[in-house]
Amino acid sequence: MTSLDNPIYLRPEARQQIVDTLQANKIPAEYGLRVGIRGGGCGSSWLLGFDLPGPTDEVYNVEGVRIIIDRKHLLYVLGAEIGYETSEEARGFTVDKPVPAQ
């Protein structure tokens, strides 16, 4: 269930990939996974990356992973599900945003 205490959902494979990346690259504990939106309108895309929190950010602990979300982006990312997929063609993070019920 998504709430302001837990604004996004990490699928187990994504959580493990994030933890492995933080450890393998010796990224300091002050950093977290920034989740946001880049661009706007039809040209928007998801923003995922390791970063330090700033003055306009909210910081959450989602299943042991530090998540950073700019307050301006919170409404747009609320309920997002972050996954990690591998295939013969590619591998990487995926983001699904469920459509609200009408």
Find the mean pLDDT for residues 4-28: 93
DSSP-derived secondary structure letter, 101? P
pLDDT band for position 98 (cuts 50, 70, 90): low
Cα 102 from Cα 88, distance rounded (Å)? 37
Q: Give domain status of residue 56, yes or no.
A: yes
CATH number at residue 24: 2.60.300.12
Q: Give tens-digit pLDDT for 30-81.
A: 999 999 988 766 677 899 999 999 999 999 999 999 999 999 999 889 999 9
Domain that holds residue 41: 9-96
Helix (H, G, I), strand (E, B) or coil at 48: strand
Q: Give domain status of residue 40, yes or no.
A: yes
Number of independent structural domains in the chain: 1
pLDDT band for position 1 (cuts 50, 70, 90): very low
- List the single range of 16-20, 65-69, 91-95 with lowest mean pLDDT: 91-95
Q: Give domain status of residue 102, yes or no.
A: no
Q: Give domain status of residue 3, yes or no.
A: no
Q: Give domain status of residue 28, yes or no.
A: yes
* pTM, rounded to two decimals: 0.85
